[in-house]
Structure 1
Amino acid sequence: MADEFIKGLGIFTAAGLGWMVLAGWYRTSSFETSRQLIEPVTSGGTLFDSIGVLLMDGLFWFALLGALTFWVLIPVFRQTREALRERRA
């Protein structure tokens, strides 16, 4: 169980840090506003800006789904499999 926890934490930390860096670049128009990191993306920009925004959204979902997978889904699957093995035996 500790192995799954640290994998989920690593994914959550690394992807969350990547998302925060990119959100600071693309979703923060000014640091005086209270809506930092959650403003809508306003820069039409270049191809690299589009790639950055796409990567930002991908890292956000990877952080959430990766942590959910290792913290909830894999342990539930293992517990269910073990319970079914005990019932058969």
Structure 2
Amino acid sequence: MADEFAKGTAILAGVGLIWMVLAGWYKTPSFEGAQLTGAPPADLGTYGEMALVLESGLRWFIIIGVLTFWVVIPAAEQTREYFAG
């Protein structure tokens, strides 16, 4: 089960870094206010809108990927082993 933990950690670290960069660019209006969670600017171009969609998708990929590799797959393997023997 160490490989599942490593895959979940890689998703968390790698994709989390990309998410933090995009959130820092588009959702940090000032250093005194909300950082990484602020409201995005209203007048973004096409590429800015695509970056916000990508940032949202990456956030869900992190959550679902980590839960899958850290909870779902190990629980399924333990359940399979329990019923097999």
Task: State whether TM-score is above 0.5.
Answer: yes
Aligned-residue offset at 1:37: 0.6
Tell me the equivalent position of 1:82: 81
* Matched ranges for 1:1-89 at <5 A: 1-33=1-33, 35-86=34-85
How much identity, in percent, do the aligned residues show? 48
Matched letter for residue 49 of structure 2: S
Tell me the TM-score normalised to structure 1 length. 0.90
1:38 CA displacement: 0.7
Aligned-CA RMSD value:
0.9
Q: After the TM superposition, which segments of 4 or more aligned residues of structure 1 sit over 6 Å from their partners?
A: none
Shift of 1:44: 3.0
Give the structure-2-normalised TM-score.
Answer: 0.94
Contact 1:26 1:43 (C-alpha < 8 Å) held by counterparts: no
What 5-or-longer segments of structure 1 have no aligned partner? none
More displaced stretch, 71-80 vs 42-51: 42-51
Q: Count the aligned residue pairs.
A: 85
Larger Rg: 1
